[in-house]
Amino acid sequence: MIRYPDGTPYKKKDTKKRTSKLDKDELSLSAANRGMDLEHDINLSNEYYNSKNIALIYKRPTPINIVKVDYTHGAKITSAYFEEQSTTDYNGIYKGRYVDFEAKSTKSKTSFPLANITSHQIEHLKKVNQQGGIAFFIIQFEKHDKVFLLDSQYVIDYYDNGKRKSIPYEDVVNNGIEIKKGYSPRLFYIDAIEQQYFKK
Amino acid sequence: MIRYPDGTPYKKKDTKKRTSKLDKDELSLSAANRGMDLEHDINLSNEYYNSKNIALIYKRPTPINIVKVDYTHGAKITSAYFEEQSTTDYNGIYKGRYVDFEAKSTKSKTSFPLANITSHQIEHLKKVNQQGGIAFFIIQFEKHDKVFLLDSQYVIDYYDNGKRKSIPYEDVVNNGIEIKKGYSPRLFYIDAIEQQYFKK
């Protein structure tokens, strides 16, 4: 038996099976990765906008409830749990205005499920609007390979109405702004902010 | 020997010694607690301002570098480390304006040491100013039992000048705004923002 240097046995990969699986699932596989990529794309876009002094927008770190810290060698957290973000994921400043948004991705073709949003986030966004801030959602429809900016008030109205559990795709298309994609930035979402909040 | 229910032996506390120590160190003890209390007081003030719809300001969670997560019972973080905040501790919105600040406490009577501030934070505050945001420091002098709002540009100038390693107390008094203290909010720092950025 051939072995790797660490002793684990070498197993020839079944490349034929793998290739055929890729052929078949290639599209859906790349689509499945997109949800996780949305956050990454926004973070890269923020880095671009920050470096060009166009905007200054950061992801809020995920709040963590720390249970135990070991101080024997520096401060090592040995027990902690993730906490729910009570606000939104992103905030910052653009042209002097306060900007606040939440990014969500859905695998649904037909609608954006409101279950993706917490009541804390709705309350938070209402307050941002009251204070005169710019508040919106970035919504990705993975199956359509499209990303939209949708004003928070539109989502809040849907949420408070309570009749529907999701926003139909068509409504997002007609009331949102499609965010252009590229290499740098990955998502031209500042262009969408311009269109939605500054050119009206 | 008298024992507690868990088996540990009961040891009569030397109350006399403890009391005399308190008598002597009472002032400096309460001063030592104040540093830790500054963050707490700001958080309580933010809760007050948020609940009254006066402002919407949050503490950014401390970023944590997660090394290992155990998924056997939910998601438990079993190994992680604290990371340095690359921005400031607080940001939010007041009267439509973006607000960003860092809070620092010093035990020094004579000056505020610039070593308390990282170059990342200076860079961040410069960008906030470029974008037209309101950026400042909340500085507590524990020994004087006083808290000040000091505009970020004043601190940036000191930092970039590089000649001094600290800002003299007198300069903070003369160029900052003293923040009034109370019960609710603990720190009337919005009043200081009004005075510094809106009444000029």
Residue A35: other Cβ atoms inside 10 A: 14
The mean pLDDT of A8-36, rounded to a whole number, is: 46
Three-class secondary structure assignment of B11-56: CCCCHHHHHHHHHHHHHHHHHHHHHHHHHHHHHHHHHHHHHCCCCE
Q: Using a CB–CB cutoff of 8 Å, tell me whether A62 touches chain B.
A: yes
Residue B53: other Cβ atoms inside 10 A: 11
The mean pLDDT of A156-173, rounded to a whole number, is: 95
DSSP letter assigned to residue A145: T
**Chain B, 150-179: which have a CB under 8 Å from a chain A CB?**
none
Which pLDDT belongs to residue A63? Answer: 86
Angle between helices A119-130 and A152-161 (to 10 degrees): 130
- Shortest Cα distance, chain B CAs vs residue A96, angstroms: 4
Q: Do B62 and A60 touch (CB under 8 A)?
A: no
3-class SS of residue B109: coil
Q: Rounding to the nearest 10 degrees, give the CA dihedral for residues A58, A60, A66, A70.
A: -10
Q: Record the pTM.
A: 0.79
Q: Using a CB–CB cutoff of 8 Å, tell me whether A75 touches chain B.
A: yes
Structure tokens at A21: 């699986």
Mutation choice for A interface testing from B49, B56, B66 by most A CBs within 10 A: B56
From first to last of its 200 residues, what are the pLDDT tens digits of chain B? 566 555 655 555 443 444 334 433 444 444 445 556 899 999 999 999 999 999 999 999 888 999 999 999 889 999 999 888 889 999 999 999 999 999 999 999 999 999 989 999 999 999 999 999 999 999 999 999 999 999 999 999 999 998 889 999 999 999 999 999 999 999 999 999 999 999 86
**Which of chain A's residues have a Cβ under 8 Å away from the Cβ of B48?**
none
Higher pLDDT, A101 or A82: A101
Q: Alpha helix (H) ranges present in chain B?
A: 15-51, 119-130, 152-161, 169-175, 189-193
Q: Do B91 and A96 touch (CB under 8 A)?
A: no
Query: How much is the ipTM here?
Result: 0.76
Taking each continuous run of H as one helix and of E as one strand, the counts in chain B are 5, 10
Domains along the sequence of chain B with CATH = 26-60+86-198 (3.40.1350.10)
Render pLDDT for B142-197 as a digit per residue (tens, 0 to 9): 999 999 999 999 999 999 998 889 999 999 999 999 999 999 999 999 999 999 99
Mutation choice for A interface testing from B77, B87, B123 by most A CBs within 10 A: B77
- CA–CA separation, A199 vs A189, rounded Å? 14
| CA B170 centroid distance within chain | 20
- Shortest Cα distance, chain B CAs vs residue A110, angstroms: 31
Which pLDDT belongs to residue B8? Answer: 59
What residue type is assigned to position A11 of the chain? K
- CA–CA separation, A41 vs B151, rounded Å? 34
Q: Using a CB–CB cutoff of 8 Å, tell me whether B71 touches chain A.
A: no
- CA–CA separation, B174 vs A193, rounded Å? 41
Q: Do B87 and A62 touch (CB under 8 A)?
A: no
Of B78, B91, B132, the CB nearest to A95: B132
Which pLDDT belongs to residue B93? Answer: 97
| CA B60 centroid distance within chain | 12
pLDDT score of A137 more than 50: yes
Structure tokens at A73: 């060698």
- CA–CA separation, A79 vs A76, rounded Å? 9
Q: Is-contact B99 B112, C-beta < 8 A?
A: no
Q: Do A133 and B94 touch (CB under 8 A)?
A: no
